Chains A and B, each alone.
Chain A
Amino acid sequence: MSIANMPLVQSYHPTTFLERGVAVPFTTPLLGGARARPAERGGPELLVPSPSGGRGVYILAWSGVREMCRPTVHDSRLNHKVTALASVTPYSIRKAAREVAAEGLAGQEALVAAQAGRDTEQEETLLTNFLLLLGLVEQMEPGETYGSGLQPEEKSVLEARAKRAIARMAPRVGRSPEVIAAMLEEMAPVFAAIGVGRQTAHARCTRALDTLRRLHAETTAWSQMHRDESGAQADMISRVAEMTISCTETTLDEAHALTVNMAGMLARWASEAAAIRKLTVRPEWLLDGWEQISLLWHSAETDAARRAVLAEMALLVPIIPREASDWVGMPIDMDGAMRFRRTVTLNEDWRTGSAVFELIARNEHLRALAA
């Protein structure tokens, strides 16, 4: 079956984030901007932007993807992992992509970065666990606060305070101190991406939000300086980025507020862990897909390259589903922002001819930067 015979969904307006799917960092140029989401018949399906650069997406199984293009080995392996996922979330896709990159199939640079990324995430989870405990201690026993570098004597004092705090907390939640400690461990990976206390400024989502703010400022500036197609593309990107930033800030504030009252959250965690998880992952869902767009922008070193990546970025801009309005409690005018989305004019060699090898290498480099 040729691309021309594949079912192109012209009007693509997902209602929920799950329906929008999660960006999958494939390295095959024709799969740029592809997203995975659960299919109605089970297992994931892929949404692939129209390769012509026009509007619409193809909804495909992997067999359909293979008829459209020749995916890289990395992408075949990644798809294999995605297919086996119990749930499709930004975290699960990132983890799967990192595992494939760590096999070396996206090159040595991405392999090293994937290993470093995995280590960093483990460290962040440990740190989050510690900071959640610290938050509980400081709330249950107000007094001395602690910096990042603890002296040995401070450590033993803190350990004692932590044990007392957990012991005092346990009866309030109706759980043993051991269960409280286990709950804090469970919470750590949930909060690691958004950060806790003094770590929030360095957490993954905060870093991603800062990068998006920078992208927003730079694309706004470009759109004001260039009154041509590239300016219109930059303007559209900037508008959607601005809405995404606003929504992410709101959802981040809401998620961070949970940890202000650690005692209250522990009490809620026992019965509402799933709801708390949903609150904390909202920023990740909102930011999903923007990392690649930012990396593309910042990889361009000349104006010609910026014009070219703007055309590519415009194809990747994530639509904000209507669900986001419920999350932030205000209407989101996605149609208004996207009405400036234009069909991109790219020559036939783009993503398919000789340039394909260079583009794969570039995408692998971006994988290394993203890991």
Chain B
Amino acid sequence: MSDRAAGRGGPPQTREMQRNLIAARDEQITRVVAVVDALADRSTADALIAPLRPRLQQLRPPRPIRLARLLFLPLDPLIVPAPRWRPGDPLVPRTALTPLAEIVRSAAGVAVARVEASLAGIVCGDTQAVADAGALLWPAAARALADAAPPQGWSESGLKATEFAPIARGVAGVLENAAAVRRMVAEARQGLAVRPEIIDTVLEAATRRGPEAWNLTFAVLLARLPDAAPLLQRVAAHAARGTDPASRARAERVAEAVLDGLERHGPGGPVGDAELASVGAEVRRIAALLEAIDGPGATQQRRRRVQELRHALDASGRTRFEEGMASAFVAPLREQLEAAGPIDVPGLEDAARRLREIETAGRRIGSAKAYDTLLRGTAQEVMRLDERPGLSLADKVRMVEVLAGPDEAMAMLGVS
């Protein structure tokens, strides 16, 4: 069954199974995903669990990394259901993945065998192991896909024969630079400045692979880098210097597509589906992206779209913050107090830190008062708690410190 078919609902028994899965409890879903992960051919099962993807993002079950997942990991933010994809979009239709993976299996057998052997016991969160295995696989896969012909059965993807080559070239371009992009993004997330020479190397390599490769690579960078500004500045500089005059126009088109993607957010807004622990980083990333593509020379229409998205991001981040405060901090605290058992202070501190990350990112785009009100209110609730075995004054002080800041916490110790 193709994703396009799935997009239309699929056969009645499939729809029935999807409904059952949607109603399933978290632990049941985790078990189902484990079974799907263990399948040799998961194309049909993938369609079944497609409606669960937003929930899986929240649940984050430890999933073993299989070859196809590793192969397309660098393209993760660009993979969309086939009905959403249009030719020329800087996106990859999900139904193209299985046939592309088959090409890689056939053409890069030796590398694939080595990589598959190295994947035993590795789960998606094993960052370094995934990077090491990817560094073996991605260049070989890029070579296999760059000039590949459409495989037999391509039509089952629901995509036209003429759509194969641009998709394959684009994917090959991203995979060729995947290790370098991964390093760049990982370093940026660690607080290191993005090195311009690495941006240049990646974009020059993508240029050599053609416009589809450049577009997808640029879109990946926009979707991954915590701050898109250095990337856009680099592209603008190259365009101004004449080293890549077409890059600015390409970048504009990709930016438009990225805005389209952001506008297609679900009911929870741009960060509605993100795991609570990464909401703060996502708010920060998207806000930085919006600021970067709303630079000098932006059209009125662009400005309006960015402004609306900023409002949507603000509301989405605030909602996740309010929900997170209730579900990850207040509710567990009250439950533990009522149970009169030990209080998981480190767990609550950790939740409070995640919430402060959302607040720090969110107040830069608005809603500062709303954040302050909820944080202070919760901090006061903590201050009023009676001390008892398992909840010392120091525990309370620390929770207040994370929620409301050190000055408020110091006041609890009688120090100003």
Q: Chain A CB within 10 Å — which of B191, B345, B406 has the most?
A: B191
Contact with B along A70-92 (1 / 0, CB 8 A): 11110011000000000000000
Let me know if B380 is at the binding interface, CB within 8 A.
no
Number of interface residues of B (CB under 8 A): 40
Contact yes or no, A104 B191, CB < 8 A: no
Cβ A308 vs Cβ B187 within 8 A: yes
Q: How many Å lie between the Cα of A271 and that of B193 in the bound state?
A: 58
A70-B405, A73-B401 known; A108 and B360 CB under 8 Å?
Answer: no
Residues of A in contact (CB 8 Å), total 34
The answer to whether A304 touches B227 (Cβ under 8 A) is no
Bound: A98/B367 CA distance, A: 40
Known contacts: A71-B406, A107-B346, A353-B360. The answer to whether A302 contacts B394 by CB under 8 A is: no
Residues of B near A308 (CB, < 8 A) are 187, 190-192
* A95 adjacent to chain B (CB < 8 Å): no
With A308-B192, A346-B191 in contact, do A105 and B127 touch (Cβ < 8 Å)? no
Question: Cα distance A304–B194 when bound, in Å?
Answer: 12
A146 adjacent to chain B (CB < 8 Å)? no
A305 CB–B CB distance under 8 Å: yes
1/0 per residue, CB under 8 A from B, across A228-249: the answer is 0000000000000000000000
Q: Is the Cβ of A305 less than 8 Å from the Cβ of B349?
A: no
A301–B128 touching, CB < 8 Å: yes
- Residue-wise, chain B 344-378 has the 8 Å CB interface mask toward A (1 for contact) of 01100110010011001100000000000000000
Residue of A70, A108, A111 near B406 (CB, 8 A) is A70
**Most B C-beta atoms less than 10 A away, residue of A105, A109, A357:** A357
Question: Is B392 an interface position by the 8 A CB rule?
Answer: yes
| CB atoms of A301 and B127 under 8 A apart | yes
Residues on B with C-beta less than 8 A from A353 are 284, 360
Closest to B352 in A: A357
Residue of A nearest to B361 (CB): A354
Alpha-carbon gap, A107 to B348, bound state (A)? 12
Tell yes or no: B42 within 8 A of A by CB. no
Minimum CB–CB distance from B76 to chain A (whole Å) comes to: 17
Binding site for B on A (CB under 8 A): 70-73, 76-77, 103-105, 107-109, 111, 301-305, 307-308, 311, 345-347, 349-351, 353-358, 361
Task: List 14 contacting pairs A-B, 8 Å CB cutoff, sorted by A.
Answer: A70-B407, A76-B406, A77-B413, A103-B394, A104-B392, A104-B395, A104-B398, A109-B346, A301-B127, A305-B186, A345-B192, A345-B193, A354-B360, A361-B350
For the complex of A and B, 10 pairs with smallest distance between CB atoms? A104-B394, A304-B186, A308-B190, A350-B191, A357-B353, A345-B193, A354-B360, A354-B357, A302-B128, A304-B187
